[in-house]
Structure 1
């Protein structure tokens, strides 16, 4: 397919040359589902690809899974089950990617051609094209080759989150905040879903080939089944995340700056199955916000001569376990969220703060969205036990060197995406001038399907 020169054409003209022209709203153009070609290159000199193959995959529906299904399937691992897992991932990845490609095609043309969104589009189409061509997995050798492909794609897609965030910030003047946030929530949940099934299969493969593993043997309840940690003890997760966020604060503000103590109370023995990296990211972000707020408020009061000898107010974490849920309440006295910031708290498009956050995001070329990205590299937890660190670069690994005081404006909205992915919730109660109470609710039974859009937006209408 020859390249088309689009640099000097208007949006309507560009679309007529590329395929069919469709309007979504007055003055707003997008590439319609029935367009003959799909955009797949940088806006300066675009490539265009046939749509028929994408149509076939986008017509399929994704098959959501639950944590319980992941646990039951992987608890007694055999070669046949590993091959079955490979073929599920082999067909599910291109299906899920095709839906999000189709969603991107519904964006206004000026958004699709934003350099950052455009780069994400290219990455998605490349992954779709690669995975759709993978033949049926029939043996362990086929599976090893497939796993190599997955690892390469996971690594190649690490720039996706910062690229999406920069694209959304740059397009906030041409598309409504609510529409942009809906798009981001959909595409980020879908990204999590793909990484879950891909990393789960890689972890099962690592387990199957581990020297200590006996095929068909039942894994104990103190271990991982793939990426699912069977017994996440809430208190230990908070302690581990708390120490990490306190270390971040020491690096950001200096070793001699007083840092709020983190007190844990409630149902300290509460435990549940979960993907540990998801939970650590959410708890880590909430505690980091509270610690930063506490340190900065203490510094302000000290500079004003108020309570010069006092320590920062402690952060109180209350754990509550019910028959179906575990709830974390994180309460601080860091002064609360300023009134002018509240409208943008859960949004990826940050209004007046966009320019500053855009500059910060340019310093973070890769982001896996994990707590470990924010802390000093440390392979052991507070009890001296080694963290599980697979050989492939998955979401449990430290994959970027984000400075501790570099704020991106993504922590809360991305944390809520993670919480809602497994049918949980995240909410804040703000007391301006006093502090914030954050409430994280987790489904402890693992029986809730992943919350994702199973079809492309246009196909579901």
Structure 2
């Protein structure tokens, strides 16, 4: 591994030298004052919040609370954005010079500049204007995940002849931190925006105070099976075991994202294994268990499992056994207002990002596989809501 990393370092130095000729550094594209401001903010400490704090704070979204929320975001978001810009500016192996990575960096710079240029929020009128700015920023960053994935895919192709991207732990650590930070930024912005929307029963912003894990699982199953039917022509059955009346406070969109990813993978594995078999694919089983500290959701399939040597690769970005749609997205452009089109498989970042969603509120995601039989995925969700964001 040491030799491969050394080779990549040499290759990266050459890429950076070539990139320098194309003037990709921040200071070559933005005013010096703005660049200095970004790096000054990047030295500041980020302030994490918990699910319980968001619940308590948003329980009565009166004018004063909304102003306080806007003031917090006005101070906090530039700090978080600047941390990411500083990282994007200094990535190894020439990744910072990739056009897609530069596009993402410039989105972050532009959002930082707009937030810094917005005057202090003092009253309800200021808060409304600030919320409109947040909506604009939220839309701007909608496609960060697939666009960043395209940049990493380009690096992977270029390094394919020398080393594998699995041998670049610093790239994987950066992507973990970057995507985890993105989840936090979108949660904070989305929560503030949602507090302005018409009240929904049992909802405080994006948080459902009576989120039914079994109900969300069923919605995710329906969506995943629909895609499997469209892509493969058929889909194995999925059975949910758990009390449908059990609820706890959580963000349904996060839970849907994680369960959808797990079910999607299980559907594909079972379909592929039993496609040419005389036996019908057995039902995928989902068990929802209630603990005092955690809610655990287990997704079990009989899709043949994964070799032990392949398990670590599941948590690396852009590792996939399916044909990747990223090249097609690169030609056609990412869809506006989405995190990428919903296809059955191929992106290679579904599992690692699902684990980040779980960890964001103090949970986790683990995979146990029996090669030749099937796979069990364990999704742990923190029930207490008292864990602060794991800020990178």
Same fold (TM over 0.5): yes
- Given that 2:26 and 2:89 are in contact with CA atoms closer than 8 Å, whether structure 1 keeps it comes out as no
Tell me how far 1:52 sits from its aligned partner: 2.2
CA pair 261-356 structure 1, distance change in 2 beyond 3 A: closer
Tell me how far 1:427 sits from its aligned partner: 0.7
1:421-440 maps to which residues of 2 (within 5 A)?
421-440=360-379
Determine if the alignment matches structure 1 residue 198 to structure 2 residue 189: yes
Match of 2:346 in 1: 407
Tell me how far 1:132 sits from its aligned partner: 1.3
Tell me how far 1:141 sits from its aligned partner: 2.0
Q: 1:96 aligns with which of 80, 87, 93?
A: 80
Q: Deviations over 1:345-364 (max 9, x none)?
A: 1101438x698454254367
- Given that 1:426 and 1:440 are in contact with CA atoms closer than 8 Å, whether structure 2 keeps it comes out as yes
Task: Report the Cα distance in structure 2 between the residues aligned to 1:27 and 1:242, rounded to whole angstroms.
Answer: 44
Determine if the alignment matches structure 1 residue 224 to structure 2 residue 203: yes
Gaps of 5+ in 1: 1-24, 32-36, 214-218, 369-392, 394-398, 454-461
Q: Deviations over 1:2-52 (max 9, x none)?
A: xxxxxxxxxxxxxxxxxxxxxxx7786689xxxxx99239xxxx5254232
Tell me how far 1:102 sits from its aligned partner: 1.4
RMSD: 2.8
Match of 2:268 in 1: 292
Tell me how far 1:88 sits from its aligned partner: 0.8
Tell me how far 1:337 sits from its aligned partner: 2.5
Match of 1:77 in 2: 61
Task: Report the Cα distance in structure 2 between the residues aligned to 1:433 and 1:350, rounded to whole angstroms.
Answer: 21
Determine if the alignment matches structure 1 residue 441 to structure 2 residue 380: yes
Query: What SS does the corresponding residue of 1:412 show, helix, strand or coil?
Result: helix
Task: Report the Cα distance in structure 1 between the residues aligned to 2:224 and 2:177, rounded to whole angstroms.
Answer: 29
Task: Report the Cα distance in structure 1 between the residues aligned to 2:25 and 2:340, rounded to whole angstroms.
Answer: 33
Q: 2:174 aligns with which of 172, 177, 183?
A: 183
Query: What SS does the corresponding residue of 1:72 show, helix, strand or coil?
Result: helix
Q: TM-score, normalised by structure 2?
A: 0.86
1:41-120 maps to which residues of 2 (within 5 A)?
46-50=28-32, 51-108=35-92, 110-120=94-104
More helix by share: 2
Q: 1:312 aligns with which of 267, 281, 290?
A: 281
Determine if the alignment matches structure 1 residue 163 to structure 2 residue 147: yes
CA pair 282-138 structure 1, distance change in 2 beyond 3 A: same
Higher mean C-alpha displacement, 260-269 vs 81-90 = 260-269
Task: Report the Cα distance in structure 2 between the residues aligned to 1:405 and 1:262, rounded to whole angstroms.
Answer: 16
Give the count of matched residue pairs.
Answer: 369
CA pair 406-289 structure 1, distance change in 2 beyond 3 A: closer
- Given that 2:294 and 2:382 are in contact with CA atoms closer than 8 Å, whether structure 1 keeps it comes out as yes
1:335-354 maps to which residues of 2 (within 5 A)?
335-337=304-306, 341-350=310-319
Determine if the alignment matches structure 1 residue 333 to structure 2 residue 272: no
Match of 1:39 in 2: 25
Task: Report the Cα distance in structure 2 between the residues aligned to 1:119 and 1:334, rounded to whole angstroms.
Answer: 39
Q: Deviations over 1:430-461 (max 9, x none)?
A: 112211100000001111111122xxxxxxxx
Task: Report the Cα distance in structure 1 between the residues aligned to 2:331 and 2:248, rounded to whole angstroms.
Answer: 36
Tell me how far 1:125 sits from its aligned partner: 0.9
Q: 1:235 aligns with which of 214, 233, 251?
A: 214
Determine if the alignment matches structure 1 residue 260 to structure 2 residue 236: yes
CA pair 401-53 structure 1, distance change in 2 beyond 3 A: closer
Q: TM-score, normalised by structure 1?
A: 0.74
Task: Report the Cα distance in structure 2 between the residues aligned to 1:406 and 1:285, rounded to whole angstroms.
Answer: 9
- Higher radius of gyration, 1 or 2: 1
